[in-house]
A and B are shown apart, each in its own frame.
Chain A
């Protein structure tokens, strides 16, 4: 009997229909263990996946093919394109003028040093490398910041920005059940995935104003004000991704006012400290201002871009608390989240950062290389702006290219226009209109300007 049913299940769709009809009376029982009530058919239905005790049907047959990641998928599509003029402005990874990946000299030095030191590979503590945690907090808040002296910062090494955000999200889910995170509209594509998977509810605050290709400040403030008291407000510390549009210092002060008024908790994502302006301190000004007001602040850091350590996955989650006891408790709970996720973080990237930031000569060198990288992007912005302004006779204001900051520029192109960029001009970018200036060379600015002008004016 069983074998007949097995062959039914593995045959044609119509055969499995009749299999289902046989089972009709037994369906809709959910996924519970009701085997005993269906003695001759040891099968369970759950949604559209029907599991038979058959040795020739995959239990995962019903799984659908997931779509490619919208950001990382761009590079994959670029690789597949053979056109000689193709340009990859997709993922935010720094490129030299020759459009090559760049390993910082100071990182090469640190790698060599590490090999010479020959340190062991023992498990790090769950919270990561102590030397790294110390320097990363000092880097973000300033080495003389009272919150550090008073031990009010819980710092845990995380898997770059993503991993650090995920630890914080899990903390929010566990200790602030029902609390919402407000994310900017638009924001980095992976933010919503992180909060979804961590089961933290989120909603958006207005941010980008397509009319001005600038900040919708009033909308932002209104939406933050309207959020339930005690919400978490996700802020990009500098170099907003994807728009490149940052609040001014005065606007930051107003944002801080509103957040304090509503007892919200500021939650900073700092992926570009030093990379935006070229100065580590300037780029940390927004976070430091909030901390200086005595606010409790969450801040996720990444060394992917500013130290070019992308694949080493090095970052940190910092929680500035109002007391050292609170910080100790929070740190212990962050550890409790990390342990069943990956036990303890990878040591290599942490040692590189600790060595560079902890050595004044290497630290100076790093600052210089960072200025160089940020400088190249500023130059590219200028060249692109010049090309656009001189080639486009419509009088459109392209100055947003200069006003925006960081690796990315929000061009204001819509999806159809982006498709035109790719299909006609072989320019690869994300469909929200974001281009990575880090992937642009001075030599290609004119070509890109042509593509943007064509897409903007001739496609709707």
Chain B
């Protein structure tokens, strides 16, 4: 359950292990203070040596590391298709107009203070977030069966939910799709859950391995937790159809598998907020329980503000209230209470119908631009006669395309064409523009024809 790291002073704290670790350090470093009368200390070292000598350098995060490498490249034609952050047609980050408007309103409000938020965050933010994802008319909300707590974007919501489950749920295994967002496994293992995978992506069709999914979830122990991407699966862009969602729902309910939804792209996938929430709402409609991690990083462009929410839909209101009290015990020793700025922006936008409408328009524009990039890339590859079936580019949905390129081809594209992407072949369509599509198409074409 502990993460691995390349240090001899590994995961256990038993006294036998401590002695072993001491021995290892004894051999590894030139000298060690006498251990005779003194209780073992993992930090003892001779004078002048750092107590952190045994701390090794961690590798750069694979996803964020792409941008680091991109920044170092001096080439004028370099293209960053690594991290999933939206870019305009001009290749610039975008702050939504409605967000700037909201901030001006907040600044103009002289009654605003910076007092600590409650541990669970802004109450109005939590209510509005629940409404956004579950629908204003959701019976779960009406019946007070939902507890929603403000967390640090999607990552923070997943982590708090997972910590809660590791403490209070009888099943400590979470099943995650193969593949999934690179950070998922660590979020769950550090929270205390063990991670297993279920088949999801079929590289031969570049679509869903639905049979494999049903088999793997079908053989999971009853009550297991199952991570589901609500829409716009990251990294593949391959989503179940509504019929497939229904089958998944039935299977999961029959085995009492607990759904944990990761909703990072509501409104960003199809351009429609309700459509992108259908999978979740289907599960809530059957009266069952689920966890939902929501992020406003992409759909409101609030990336660095770290705005998100964890919702737990329970069977009964009193249970929801008990769950909330326990979520607070997870949050308080982690960061005490969440940051105010981003969540205040979200409240300002969601509670005002005009601003809400403005937001949906800007959101649709972003989603449409990405869909247009997909079409352009597909057309460009067709025009070049690039071998292979590239229709998955227009079939996949959301910010990312799983190109199907292998790591050698990716490496080639970086080296020869200065295209930066994750080694699994994932490209962020948000980082493309009409001007840069030809360059990418050339790179893919070259990679496919010259490298295999």
Chain A residues near B (Cβ < 8 Å)? 31, 33, 35, 42, 44, 46, 49, 51, 53-61, 63-67, 69, 72, 91, 93, 101-103, 107, 111-112, 115, 118, 120-126, 159-160, 162-163, 166, 174-179, 190, 193-194, 196-198, 228-232, 263-265, 296, 304, 308-313, 319, 321-323, 326, 328-330, 332-333, 335-336, 339-349
Contacts and interface: CB of A to CB of B under 8 A. Distances in A.
B83 A93 contact: no
Interface string B217-231: 000011100000000
Given A230-B43, A296-B51, A49 B333 contact: no
11 contacts: A58-B314, A59-B256, A66-B326, A69-B119, A115-B103, A125-B64, A178-B15, A190-B332, A231-B41, A311-B114, A349-B341
A120 B93 contact: yes
Contacts, number: 307
B223 A59 contact: yes
Given A69-B328, A175-B9, 5 more contacts: A123-B83, A163-B336, A263-B44, A310-B115, A321-B52
Given A58-B314, A178-B18, A312 B114 contact: yes
A175 B170 contact: no
Contact of A162 (B99, B306, B312, B334): B334
B93 to A, nearest CB: 4
Given A31-B172, A197-B334, A326-B50, A342 B159 contact: yes
B159 to A, nearest CB: 6
B49 A322 contact: yes
B287 A347 contact: no
A333 B58 contact: yes
B333 A329 contact: no
Contact of A329 (B38, B55, B287): B55
A230 B340 contact: no
A179 B52 CA distance: 13
B139 interface: no
Interface in B319-357: 319, 321-323, 325-326, 328-330, 332-342
Interface residues on B, range: 35 or more
B48 interface: yes
Highest count of chain B CB atoms <10 Å: which of A46, A56, A123, A124:
A123
A159 B340 CA distance: 12
B170 A51 contact: yes
Contact of A341 (B57, B113, B190): B190
Given A63-B323, A175-B7, A190 B56 contact: no
A340 B159 CA distance: 7
B339 A349 contact: yes
Interface of B: 5, 7, 9-13, 15, 17-18, 21, 33, 38-45, 48-58, 61, 64, 83, 85, 92-95, 99-100, 103-104, 107, 112-119, 152-153, 155-156, 159, 163, 168-172, 183, 186-187, 189-190, 221-223, 253, 255-256, 258, 287-289, 297, 301-306, 312, 314-316, 319, 321-323, 325-326, 328-330, 332-342
B304 A122 contact: yes
Contacts of A346: 152, 304-306, 339, 341-342
A340 B186 contact: yes
A47 to B, nearest CB: 8
Interface of B is mostly: loop
A339 B112 CA distance: 31
B333 A193 contact: yes
Contacts of B301: 121
Nearest to B112: A103
Contacts of B53: 326
A323 B17 CA distance: 28
A177 B9 contact: yes
A179 B44 CA distance: 10
A31 B194 CA distance: 14
Contacts of A313: 335-339
B334 to A, nearest CB: 6
A44 B304 contact: no
